[in-house]
Structure 1
Amino acid sequence: MTAENGADVEAQIAEWRAYMLRRRAIHDTDVDELEDHLRGRITDLSETGLRPDEAFLIAVKRMGSLNELSREFAREHSDRLWKQLVLAGEPEAEKGGGRRELLAMIACALLGAIAIKVPSVFGLDFDADADFYARNMSLFALPPLAAYFVWRRRAGWGVIAVLAGLFVLGAVGANAYPLAEEDQSIVLTAIHLPLALWLVVAVAYAGGDWRSDSRRMDFIRFTGEWFIYFVLIGLGGGVLAAFTAGTFAAIGLDASNFIASWLVPCGGMAAVVVAAWLVEAKQSVIENMAPVLTRVFTPLFAATIVAVLAAIVWTNSGIDVDREVLILFNLLLVVVLGLLLYSISARDPHAPAGVFDWLQLALVGSALVVDVLVLLAITGRITEFGFTPNKSAALGENVILFANLAVSAWLFLGIAKGRTPFPRLERWQTGYVAVYAVWAWIVVLVFPPVFGFA
């Protein structure tokens, strides 16, 4: 933090303090305590890479959940703070840092765009070698993203060595085994390797401090925010592709090959890094989306799952054991888990329990019932036909989801009743991320030889 930045933040804190002291209901000692809390939050946020003015803005907004006067201050000054965050001129040093970060992002995005085209130099085609690209897509997209975070976090050589080793291990798992195109292990690798490598990116995001609960929760929050930006970029890319095809067709040229072979794959790889850069650049803006999206979709998904369970009871029929149906229900459970993680990352840990906590408990509880039904269906399928890579992977994943949802439901019940502090649920979820990482690596590395490379 430069001296000028420090002076700006001190001026902002002084204005906030003066606003507090103008109210007769609050004493000097109370303001001192609140100021210490505010400064602590600013320090924590600044250590994550935020600019001082961004850290102050987010800290004041979070303080608003604890103190009504802070909420009024944020409301009355939101326009000025927003303009200062987005429109105000930056010091030359910060402008230089912004340019360097932009160049680093562009370099990493170009690296991803180039990586996806390297196999074509050796004669591999997207259509003819679809299984190769399915297994290796995450190896093209995620190392450049990890490189961006290594640069941004100034990670040491030890962290870089760990990251490189894990990416090499992923490449070995994806390509070293003698798998045929129709083998189930190819699909399992294509599904699980991105998850395993995404959690490798988490090590880069945390700058190597992966044992920190707060850094793991920051990465969970980043994941949701990154997904929002990536989807928006993808939608924009779809419009761009449509306009490109249409305009070239209007002059008698066919751009479909360019779109399929260059625009879509290269743009997709670059978008992985660009989305991360946007999240890092404007964390305070996207942070407001988290509680809104969570509060919109939590009741909708809760109603959907309850309706499904009611239909199962009404029709007296269990879940179909077809693979596609089981995949659909597993995706539903993953979405529920995502909503749970997203809501936890957006919730103020000091806020009292409310109606929304009961609603989340209903969502998790209904998802837990669905998971039990899915486990029964998978177990019945295995009992009848025996173990296969697909069924074994589905069984393991549902057992892992069941354990997570069961403990989460119990903790949510304690939170809703005021018996359990919210940070306990947060620690459970951030610690459980390692279980998903271990399972993903087991499916990628252990399943193929165990099931005879089937």
Structure 2
Amino acid sequence: MSDHEQLESQIDQWRGYVQRRRAISAGDVEEMEDHLREQVTDLTSTGLDDDEAFLVSVKRMGNLDEVSREFAREHSDRLWKQLVLVPERADGGTNPWRELGVVLALAIGAGIAVKAGIELIDDETAIMRNVGLLVLPFLAGYFAWKRKLTWQVAAALLIPFALLAVVLNVYPFEPMGSTEFLAASHAIVALWALVSVAYAGGRWRSDARRMDYVRFTGELAIYYVLLALGGGVLIGLTVGTLALVGVDFEPVLEAWILPFAVPGALIVAAWLVEAKQNVVENIAPVLTRVFTPLTIVMLLVFLGAFSTAGGLLDVDRELLILMDAVLVLVLSLLLYSISARDALAPPGLFDVLQVVLVIAALAVDAVALTAMLTRIAEFGFSANKVAALGLNLVLLVHLAWSAWLSVGFLRGARTFGPVERWQTRYLPAYAVWAVIVVVVFPPVFAFA
């Protein structure tokens, strides 16, 4: 790598660090970068090499956390305006009122699709299979509009959406069969992976965009839960008030409000994540530091539950299903915490806790895998068992290599970059497995 390329790489890392200080807007980051480059140029003209000039310039820029706080204090009026529902438009940016109109139109469209699906499809299991197809295309549409996707990329996205729709509705599933439930649940994962392509603006190979999508997914879940809790309180108060005057509001609630509010809130929550991501500090560091030690305790409790369950054949089937859910939760927590970590920071106590979390999850996964293989050897194969076994194997590879890379980072043998890149580059494995379960499992197991 040439000296110039190394300098550009260092400036890229510095810019990424500054951008995570949410009180500093994108325009101010560019201004700070220009100032940094001017200082580097001035210092190199005095005889310093690029690396020395960069380090001295960054030192002169001061502590960025303090800069962020000072900036927020001095520009509190602008920061407050950014925190309201519709911020002022930045130069060259999209009209926020226009974006709000697009978001509301898509949210209403998702509600209409769900309502029409309920009215036209007189089959609860069929609605269950298609719920992702009724809602997620509208979310993908928002990002396609927001990222200004080319027609080629948009058309390429429509093809897998259409293929999944054909598979989910043409396959002759046995009513309430295992393959139908597996196809419906795994289709959500496959569709969510397709939405990531729209979110990334077609740059689906970019590690940075994939990690942004991980962060977006976590924050979307938080916003959605908050909207759901707030909406639930309002609905509860409305139902209670109307009941006191003899009005039964539940038929209207079930027939109209919920079919529109539940999918519409997802689109609105996505917009809120997008709109506020550069305003306030990411909530991920706080959540991960609270829930990582609690999750470690939970995993240790589950290991204790396994040890007292007797033989592996005696392990309850529901317990194994619960273990898969816990492992997925652990993976989500791991990804979310990595997405929020400063890649330039040295190893610390929280990194040690993460390694403990991953190792505990590996132990649980190993026990669960052994129990599953034992049950398969004793009772034979089934769609549910093979799907669970496959998911555990995919998780095992992910967690094992994450542990190996993280231990190397703690020992100083490597930087944090490989740990982060492994997460984003392995994520497509889950989408591939989901597609296999949706497309291959039903005919293999006779659609039962």
> TM-score, normalization: structure 2?
0.85
Q: 1:113 aligns with which of 98, 111, 114?
A: 111
CA distance in 2, matches of 1:96, 1:104: 11
2:205 is the counterpart of 1:230 = no
Q: 1:156 aligns with which of 150, 162, 177?
A: 150
Cα displacement (A) at 1:239: 1.3
CA distance in 1, matches of 2:100, 2:59: 34
Aligned to 1:18: none
CA-based RMSD of the aligned residues comes to 3.1
Corresponding letter in the other structure for 1:108? L
Question: Alpha-carbon deviations, 1:181-204, whole Å to 9, x = none?
Answer: 221011102211111100100000
Question: Alpha-carbon deviations, 1:287-341, whole Å to 9, x = none?
Answer: 4211000000001001221233245446766585433211110010001000100
Alpha-carbon distance change, 390 to 289 in structure 1, aligned in 2, over 3 angstroms: same
Give yes or no for contact 2:216–2:273 (8 Å, CA) kept in 1. yes
CA distance in 1, matches of 2:315, 2:62: 53
CA distance in 2, matches of 1:98, 1:257: 36
2:384 is the counterpart of 1:390 = yes
Give yes or no for contact 1:192–1:444 (8 Å, CA) kept in 2. yes
Corresponding letter in the other structure for 1:437? A
Q: 1:270 aligns with which of 264, 271, 288?
A: 264
In structure 2, stretches of 5+ residues that fail to align are: 1-6, 34-56
Cα displacement (A) at 1:162: 1.4
CA distance in 2, matches of 1:166, 1:237: 34
Output aligned runs, 1:91-240, within 5 Å: 97-122=95-120, 124-125=121-122, 129-240=123-234
Corresponding letter in the other structure for 1:90? E
CA distance in 2, matches of 1:341, 1:183: 33
Give yes or no for contact 2:88–2:96 (8 Å, CA) kept in 1. no
Output aligned runs, 1:37-56, within 5 Å: 40-41=15-16, 52=27
Q: Which moved more, 1:141-150 or 1:177-186?
A: 177-186
Q: Give 3-state SS (helix, strand or coil) of 1:284's partner.
A: coil
Cα displacement (A) at 1:453: 0.8
Cα displacement (A) at 1:264: 1.5
Question: Alpha-carbon deviations, 1:396-445, whole Å to 9, x = none?
Answer: 00000000000011111111111121110111110111100100011011
Give yes or no for contact 1:306–1:366 (8 Å, CA) kept in 2. yes
Q: 1:446 aligns with which of 428, 434, 440?
A: 440
Q: Give 3-state SS (helix, strand or coil) of 2:414's partner.
A: coil
Give yes or no for contact 1:188–1:443 (8 Å, CA) kept in 2. yes
Q: Which has the higher contact order (CA 8 A, sep 6+)?
A: 2
Give yes or no for contact 2:125–2:176 (8 Å, CA) kept in 1. no
In structure 1, stretches of 5+ residues that fail to align are: 1-31
Alpha-carbon distance change, 323 to 67 in structure 1, aligned in 2, over 3 angstroms: farther
Give yes or no for contact 2:285–2:341 (8 Å, CA) kept in 1. yes
Alpha-carbon distance change, 187 to 321 in structure 1, aligned in 2, over 3 angstroms: farther
CA distance in 2, matches of 1:376, 1:149: 42
CA distance in 2, matches of 1:34, 1:428: 20
Corresponding letter in the other structure for 2:278? S
Aligned to 1:4: none
Corresponding letter in the other structure for 1:434? P
Question: Alpha-carbon deviations, 1:323-362, whole Å to 9, x = none?
Answer: 3211110010001000100011000111000111110000
Alpha-carbon distance change, 95 to 247 in structure 1, aligned in 2, over 3 angstroms: farther
CA distance in 1, matches of 2:402, 2:327: 13
Q: Give 3-state SS (helix, strand or coil) of 2:407's partner.
A: helix
2:352 is the counterpart of 1:354 = no
Aligned to 1:405: 399
Cα displacement (A) at 1:387: 1.0
Aligned to 1:293: 287
Corresponding letter in the other structure for 2:348? G
- Percent identity of paired positions between Structure 1 and Structure 2: 47
Aligned to 2:81: 87
Give yes or no for contact 1:233–1:271 (8 Å, CA) kept in 2. yes
Corresponding letter in the other structure for 1:282? K
Q: Give 3-state SS (helix, strand or coil) of 2:433's partner.
A: helix
> TM-score, normalization: structure 1?
0.84
Aligned to 2:358: 364
CA distance in 2, matches of 1:376, 1:410: 22
Aligned to 1:28: none
CA distance in 1, matches of 2:385, 2:136: 28
Give yes or no for contact 1:142–1:198 (8 Å, CA) kept in 2. yes
Q: Give 3-state SS (helix, strand or coil) of 2:390's partner.
A: helix
Cα displacement (A) at 1:80: 2.9
2:273 is the counterpart of 1:279 = yes
Cα displacement (A) at 1:38: 8.3
